[in-house]
Structure 1
Amino acid sequence: MSDKTLDCSDLDRHMGVPMQSGRIRDPLGNMDIRRWAQAMHYPNRLHYDDAYAADSRFGRLVAPLSFAIATDDGHGAAPACVGRIPDSHLLFGGDEWWFYGPRIVAGDLIEVQRIPFDYVVKDTKFAGSTCFQRGDNFYRNGGGELIAKQRSTTIRYRADLAREMSSLEASDDPDWSDAQLEELEARKFEYIKSLHELGHGKRWWDEIGKGDALPTRVIGPHSIASFTTEWRAYLFTIWCGVHRRTDLDMEALGFTGPMAGKEQDPVLELENPELTDGAYIGPSRGHLFPRWARYIGMPRGYGYGASMGAWILDYLSGWAGEWGMVVHSSCSYRGPAFTGDITVMTASVVDKLVDERGRALVQIDVKMANQLGVVMATAKAEVELPRRQG
């Protein structure tokens, strides 16, 4: 029988110790924001139609709240992936967000400060001894304003044990008939129409009741092409798109065998950037290549956890409208989006309150599932809405 231990003895010395910060090289442009909205399948005109945005409360294009993650150089996972765990791999396990008000716009230079938070080791059916590690990211603009805080959770495990123990056997993409695909497009358009109907209007807190359902949002069917589109919307995936870390070494972190490539290596990027591109080399390639997906215990190509988090934030933000804002969201990822599957998002209001700061909030439960009803993620969020006077 295989030894199912996971050596996490190196992690303690990193907890609470600030890391190198992350910073994009160039001021953001409107095209960066548009590319992100398109890649995340978020048809909110506030983020790509400049004429529409000019008539909004902002008077210009603004980035979705989810865009903060695109300005980091590792999906927010950096402070949740410190310390050596031999022969390990990593999956995104969830994240918690707090938003403080400032919006990201073209011209901003975003910097991310990172501090490892904690970790715990649990026994799982997926891979035996498994490390759940958390770390904090603080996103600030060039003026030093705190835009958001993200507490990421990563799942670090031994890929050999995942292959040995996992029930996720290799499988083919499901087939969708033309009629089914047409029906999916109709369902997607129903969601888009809900965004159009609210437009620049206000969703009043006073008119929301417990049990109210949010419009259903459908994304997919997912494919290698759609996952690649997502990947390229993250600015760090572009050659010299960010100031690279000098303290990142996949092999030193213990990434297993052929997954320990030189992804994001700042020296090699200037010599041969092909060998530093995570779409093709290193631990990220499991998303886009079924062979490498199976190597780390997945049945076929799979999506990015950070994108799932973005879908949830966009879903909540679209419902809140431009006069509302997600102030807090806590997401737990149970399984990724696989090629050929769809993602169906539903949510309902579970409570409403006015907090100690006088903010009118609604509390929302979100569920993300595939076409078979298998739950991919859950989230709990607080959304601030405008309140009628008197």
Structure 2
Amino acid sequence: MTQSTDSTEERFKEAIEAEISEEDLAKDRAALGIWSASKHQEWISTATGETIRNFANSYGDDNPLYTDPEYGKRTRWGSQVAPQIMAAILNAPLRGDKLPKELRGGSYRGIHAFVSGGTWDWYRPIYPGDTLYSFSGLESVEVKQSEFAGRSVIRVLRDVKMNQRAEVVGVYRTLVIYTERKKAKEKGKYKNVEAPSYTKEDIAALDEIYSAEKPRGAEPRYWEDVVVGEDMGKMAKGPLTTTDMVVFHAGGYGFVPYGLKTGRLAYKNRQRIPAFFIDNEYGVPDVAQRVHWDNEWAKAIGNPRAYDYGVLRECWIHHFLTDWMGDGAFVVRQHDEIRRFNYQGDIQYLTGKVQGKRQEDGLMLVDVAVEVTNQRGETTAQADATISLPSREHGAAMLPEVPVELKRDAVRMFERHGELLGEQQR
């Protein structure tokens, strides 16, 4: 079977030239503040000892609290627990009333999207056996002129994650930027970023950082011992490879509702969301998200090479925090902003400082700032976080209270899930 070059180039051109529509923007504005049940089936719905271990390993975390069930029994949690950020990739379908079409927001078909940052508020740990459900809504939408891609749309999506007991585990606000591929290619701000090249001495220096890294583990980091301004150490990630992307997906990152499929399932996915598939150089429809491993497709939208997921760097930042804080602490909040692309071949270095400490609602809190820089000395991501620490005087780290209104929303959504499930089974 052959594919004409002209036909392939024409379809490629159509994909590149898709534009942000006023219709999609109008749909977004109508959908602001409306909750809907998330009916997506993620690759993983229920946390198990193995899926927790594999997810932690997928971003390079070997903390035994997440990877060794026996170790977890000796901690304050009484069990292996998941990295809190695993809430991002767990989801079972939540039954709910179907929203009218006019309240579902814009689809932005053919428009390139990338995560530019997010904010997590966490309330409860995830244990083996926990199934997570979610309901979500569009919190804000803004149109901007982007230096990189001309006109762009910035959307903040709010996802509430709850377990099988309708307990709110966390709330995730994701900042997603939608750009027109044609404009991104024309601007080409990053297309001339030089490819890195490392000597054996460079890799040896990197390995020294890796060899010094370790989680604080069972030794408590008491609130009273933390000093404002103190250094949090250094962590390395990279150099980024296609293997890193494969491992992250294998650990549970499914990019649902788009997803990665093969064979007949890929065919069905193409019928469902044809605009998500762009012909490659062989005339084969392939996923638009291959910008994360396909250098040629990344170049087509104005980048020099394939680049990572913003979600992966969020996991790296979380790894840095949990290594520093110790097993008995709890991340209350993590806010991160992706400033630059992390291209294949780049190394990322994570450093941080304690910005402040305080007591609030019985919690002994520290505020920290994290910076992520590449081998060129450029800041590629920044984050600030609040951590609940154990106290010599007050005991174990406390967990924050879930806002009352959010509790009610979670119970209401889960009750409706149960009603619809019962109707289906009758």
TM-score calculated relative to the size of structure 2? 0.76
- The one-letter code matched in structure 2 to 1:12 is R
Q: Quote the residue 1:361 is aligned against.
A: 365
Q: Quote the residue 1:253 is aligned against.
A: none
Q: Report the 3-state secondary structure (helix = DSSP H, G, I; strand = E; otherwise coil) of the residue aligned with 1:37.
A: helix
Matched, 1:10 2:43: no
Q: Report the 3-state secondary structure (helix = DSSP H, G, I; strand = E; otherwise coil) of the residue aligned with 2:36.
A: coil
**Maintained 8 Å contact 1:343/1:368:** yes
**Maintained 8 Å contact 1:335/1:375:** yes
**Maintained 8 Å contact 1:118/1:133:** yes
- Say if 1:3 and 1:58 are closer, same or farther in 2 by CA, change over 3 A: closer
Q: How much does 1:309 deviate?
A: 1.0
Distance 1:270 1:343 in 2: 33
Q: How much does 1:56 deviate?
A: 1.9
Which is further off, 39-48 or 216-225? 39-48
Q: How much does 1:189 deviate?
A: 1.9
**Maintained 8 Å contact 1:66/1:314:** no
Q: How much does 1:273 deviate?
A: 6.8
Matched, 1:348 2:348: no
Q: Quote the residue 1:133 is aligned against.
A: 155
Q: Quote the residue 2:329 is aligned against.
A: 324
Give 1:41-56 correspondences, 5 Å limit.
Answer: 41-56=60-75
Matched, 1:338 2:356: no
Q: Quote the residue 2:112 is aligned against.
A: 89
**Maintained 8 Å contact 1:303/1:336:** yes
Q: Report the 3-state secondary structure (helix = DSSP H, G, I; strand = E; otherwise coil) of the residue aligned with 1:34.
A: helix
Equivalent pairs, count: 354
Q: How much does 1:32 deviate?
A: 0.9
Q: Quote the residue 1:215 is aligned against.
A: 233
- The one-letter code matched in structure 1 to 2:61 is Y
Identify which of 77, 85, 94 aligns with 1:58: 77
Which is further off, 212-221 or 166-175? 166-175
- Say if 1:339 and 1:13 are closer, same or farther in 2 by CA, change over 3 A: same
Q: Quote the residue 1:255 is aligned against.
A: none
Distance 2:18 2:159 in 1: 34
Cα deviations by residue, 1:118-163 (Å, 9 ceiling, x for unpaired): 1111212111121110010111111111111001000011010010
Gaps of 5+ in 1: 74-80, 238-243, 246-261
Matched, 1:191 2:208: no
Matched, 1:180 2:202: yes
- Say if 1:68 and 1:233 are closer, same or farther in 2 by CA, change over 3 A: same
Q: Quote the residue 1:227 is aligned against.
A: 245
Give the structure with higher Rg (CA): 2
Matched, 1:294 2:313: no
Identify which of 85, 93, 98 aligns with 2:121: 98
- The one-letter code matched in structure 1 to 2:63 is N
**Maintained 8 Å contact 1:4/1:129:** no
**Maintained 8 Å contact 2:18/2:110:** no
Which is further off, 278-287 or 150-159? 278-287
**Maintained 8 Å contact 1:349/1:363:** yes
**Maintained 8 Å contact 1:263/1:276:** no
Q: Quote the residue 1:206 is aligned against.
A: 224
**Maintained 8 Å contact 2:156/2:173:** yes
Identify which of 40, 58, 67 aligns with 2:59: 40
Which is further off, 168-177 or 201-210? 168-177
Gaps of 5+ in 2: 1-16, 93-103, 278-284, 395-426
Q: Quote the residue 1:241 is aligned against.
A: none
Cα deviations by residue, 1:219-245 (Å, 9 ceiling, x for unpaired): 1111011111112222536xxxxxx76
Q: Quote the residue 2:413 is aligned against.
A: none
**Maintained 8 Å contact 2:47/2:90:** no
Distance 1:382 1:69 in 2: 18
Distance 1:52 1:3 in 2: 52
- The one-letter code matched in structure 2 to 1:45 is P
Q: How much does 1:314 deviate?
A: 2.0
Q: How much does 1:44 deviate?
A: 1.2
Q: Quote the residue 2:189 is aligned against.
A: 167
Identity of aligned residues (%): 23
Q: How much does 1:286 deviate?
A: 1.2
- The one-letter code matched in structure 1 to 2:32 is M
Matched, 1:389 2:393: yes
- Say if 1:82 and 1:305 are closer, same or farther in 2 by CA, change over 3 A: farther
TM-score calculated relative to the size of structure 1? 0.83
Identify which of 375, 378, 390 aligns with 1:374: 378
- The one-letter code matched in structure 1 to 2:75 is S
**Maintained 8 Å contact 1:70/1:233:** no
